[in-house]
Structure 1
Amino acid sequence: MLLPTPADLRAALSRYADAVIEDERRSTPDTVRRREDTAYTLCVMTGVSDVREALSTADALLHRGGPAAEPGRIDPSDAVPV
């Protein structure tokens, strides 16, 4: 499994946070869809199916500073099980 770079994870987390804030401020069909889309993106990037798990996994990857911190270096043992 390819691991996302820290920059990609941070960008996805930022888009998700913005979508959540916007949706909670004034929910519309568009804000709900954006929130769902950004949650899905995080799930795909982290290899999990629940946004809470995706947030936790993204946090762990960013704090670990392992292969995700080195673009192009992938160790199969670091893959997040699906």
Structure 2
Amino acid sequence: MAPLTAQHLRVLLSRYAEARIAQFEHDTAPNRRALKEAAEVLCSATRSPDIKAALFKADDLLAAGAPELHLPRRAAGARETSRVLMT
């Protein structure tokens, strides 16, 4: 598995957010599948058992600027964004 970078993590979070919005606006089978797939990919990338844990872990990784992930220290508001996505 390739190393998880800040950019890749942000792409996965954006993909999940877009799928969540699409499914909320139009509850269709394709939108549900896209949301499920986006959640599974984010869970896999963060090695989390469920989407809630994956969102929190992604926030923590971005906010902490974990050196092993080559993440910058500036990630203000990330935790708040994930809280909104979980509601």
- Structure 2 residue matching 1:49: 3-state secondary structure: coil
Deviation at 1:68, TM superposition (A): 1.1
Using a 3 Å threshold, how does the CA distance of structure 1 residues 3 and 56 change in structure 2: closer, same or farther? farther
Q: Which has the larger radius of gyration?
A: 1
- 1:8 paired residue number: 8
> What is the RMSD of the two structures over their aligned residues, measured on CA atoms?
1.5
Note if contact 1:3-1:46 (Cα within 8 Å) is conserved in structure 2: no
CA distance in structure 2 between the partners assigned to 1:11 and 1:59 by the alignment: 13
- Asked if residue 69 in structure 1 is aligned to residue 37 in structure 2, the reply is no
Q: Which has the higher contact order (CA 8 A, sep 6+)?
A: 1
TM-score, with structure 2 as normaliser: 0.75
How many residue pairs align between the two structures?
70
Q: Which runs of 5+ in 2 are unaligned?
A: 72-87
Once residues 2 and 11 of structure 2 are traced to their aligned partners in structure 1, the CA distance between those partners, rounded to angstroms, is 17
Moved over 3 A (4+): none
Structure 2 counterpart of 1:74: none
For 2:45 and 2:9, locate their aligned partners in 1 and report how far apart those are by CA, in whole Å.
Answer: 8
Instruction: Give the CA deviation at 1:2.
Output: 6.3
Q: Which structure 1 segments of 5+ residues have no match?
A: 71-82
Aligned residue identity for 2:63? H
